Structure 1
Amino acid sequence: MTLYLNDHAIVVGGSIAGLLSARVLADYFESVTIVETDTLPELPDARRGVPQSVQPHILLTKGYRIIAELFPGIGDRLKAAGALPIDWAREFYLFNRHSWNAIAPSPSHIVSLTCSRPLLEWGIRQELAKIANVQFHQQQRVTGLVLHHSGKYITGVRSRSLVDSSYSELAASLVVDASGRRSQAPNWLQNLGFTPPPETVVNPLLGYATRRYRVPASDRTDWKVMLISQSPPDGTRLGYLAKIEGGEWIATLGGYGGNFPPLDNDGFLDFARTLPSMEFYQAIKEAEPISPIYAHRTTANRLRHYEQIVLPQGFVTLGDAVCALCPVYGQGMTVSAKAAMVLSDWLARQRNQSFISSRFQKKLAQSNSLSWNVATSQDSRFPTTKGDSKPTQSGGLFAAYAERMLELTTADSTVATALLEVTQQLKSPLALFSPQIVWRVLKNS
């Protein structure tokens, strides 16, 4: 049942975090406006405002379940448009520093979809278009927040048209910033006299190169996603290959510490040949490339600590605007989906329509903490990583246990599946210390 807390909410940014936020807000506000700088494509095409959209994006099972909860039936829409269902325990081939992961003998519950980022965004927009009280203002750039004369709460945004350069104000009871890594919210707050949030940045100096290929007619492989993983501190290179819609592969090479893959055909193939397994190279060497090679270098982990500052009421921020993660771990879209659920819970607890921002940002910080720690602790194991985080010096027994468990994932599908449940954010890392898993690890030590 819809419970309107107030008349109007604004979402800054029409990417995945913004779209999911708008879906949540639609249950609590009479109208919701998404203000977006781009012209949103009617088809599943890449757009200028999301330059990383041509790169691979992983929809973890936790994120997929949240999106399916917000938009019942979206899985069928996406599959009809070409997205492929994936059982991660059976169709994800992972090469770690020991060998390939063990494959589960029977279907699992660790299921989501593999598709391009533009297709996923398009599918969400199509579902959102069914909701009557959500509208888009396209080709509009938000330039600042409007502060009430009391200095205590936000009453809307100022924006500039990218069509005719005209300025306007849009009133709202709540403004949600979901404008991504390039968010200007710290400047908006500073311009109003508030202290901007401190930042933590951990930069692994990771660079990507991505190309699409046509899946060869002779392909008989069982995998839908293949990852030849980096291995700190010395294994700086990785390869990611995924089947997506349209009978295509999206192929990505990555290198840490400035060891970036080349952007020419021969260099791309030569780099692939240096991976610790030849499976990636063997797959693409005879495949037909159908796109240029796209570089991506904006991979630093950056956390803005909004939970530590005084904020005006009626303004919150989430997604990459708060917690932008190194994309190699595939957590970004799921972090945004979880943030939408934090937003929903915060709104459900409103009693006086005051929209106290600090309460939301503290809950969001808690939600983001595990994903942040996973990304930065792993990235910090490379000696070339720049930033504030340092690798945790694990005790001998713990380090030995973790290493033995990782090795066991190549032979024991039960252990491999347990690790997947954690990395797909379905279970806490404490699940890796359950009696069943501990017994298997110690038995094989």
Structure 2
Amino acid sequence: MVFEGLAEKLQNTFKKLKSKGKLTEKDVSEAMREVKLALLEADVNFKVVKDFVRKVKERAVGSDVLESLTPGQQVVKIVNDELTDLMGKTESKITFASKPPTVIMLVGLQGAGKTTTCGKLASLLKKQGKKPLLVAGDIYRPAAIKQLQVVGGQVDVPVFTMGDKQSPVDIAKAGIEFGDNQGNDVILIDTAGRLHIDEELMGELQNVKRNTKPHEILLVVDSMTGQDAVNVAQHFNDSLGIDGVILTKLDGDTRGGAALSVRSVAQKPIKFVGMGEKLTDLEPFHPDRMASRILGMGDVLSLIEKAQANYDAEKARELESKIRKQQFTFEDFLEQLEQMKNMGPISQILDMIPGAGGKQLKNLQVDEKELIHIEAIIQSMTKEERQNPSIINGSRRKRIAIGSGTSVQKVNRLIKQFEQTKKMMKQFTDMDKMGKKGGKFKLPF
């Protein structure tokens, strides 16, 4: 879970505050001391922590807060506001050129995931109706050009390359000209990285910038490197002048120090975050939504957007009709599993539900492998068996178990759970009917 350690500590601190009817300045000071430690342990920059705690404390010890009816909630609101402000207040979008093509230069150190991020960003822009082109400008790293071609093929975006014998400047200029002639309205230039920042790297990038005049320079950094990511952002901005940051591997960063420090230290916004390995796992960064998730308030807007992007409205209506008519089958169940998987890991989805990311569901173990087993079992059934599970006798269960690489016990358990789910759906349907008729619903026990 993103920010797992920090989120738990902050939520515990504020739970204690909210349990008190009235707050004193001492209560606030003690809470702020805990907040300070939690942020430092999350690898947030020391100066950022110091400034953040000072701002929160100044607002929290005012008479409007301490003398209010809900002082604990008021303090949480202040922290939420300041966290949002710390990460950039509002979403920072790409500035597109008034006259296409928009040229975007992606820079960063080796290992940050720059080439893959090129593909992810191209995929995201395609969904927004853009026609991107990828330009292979990394002529040094072995197989970098081939990797970009593979990534481009996976997201169905063309890749411009001149091999590794031409200079990065010539490749970038030729790529922009080619894209303009082909009607591509966004040109994404994948540049070379180094294992560390040096004069040669910066000189080359400055040369590409000078000759291509990109509309956006986006720095790709690995969020899991913590303070190193923040230092890299500061160095690149000082030497090159970046327009924004893309944080990769945020889904694996349980501390979150980079996300909370980059904006304040480098004075440049986080524009996108990588939330997984799939080429669809790049999301616009919303400071307010991230602050809400850290404080256990969830992120309902992102959850709705994910659902809207992955769920077909017409199919949803058909499914509702099937549930009401008791026609829900294993085929429908399999389709729902596929759509749910497209939304991302279940742990991330739970993180977006208010209250679900905190201690309440801390002990809930979400086994993604179990979903794979369920999928395999259903796919090992015949079409007739999926539509009418009652025909699945002993020999059929054994065949399904062998076909799915599981056991008869697992097949039995899934069929039993499925039947229980159908019964529960029937109860909800009956409740809804009784409610509409004004009658009383009697519990079946």
TM-score (norm. length: structure 1): 0.22
Write 1 or 2 for the structure with the bigger share of strand. Answer: 1
Structure whose alpha-carbon radius of gyration is higher: 2
Write 1 or 2 for the structure with the bigger share of helix. Answer: 2
TM-score (norm. length: structure 2): 0.22
Structure with greater contact order relative to length (CA < 8 Å, sep ≥ 6): 1
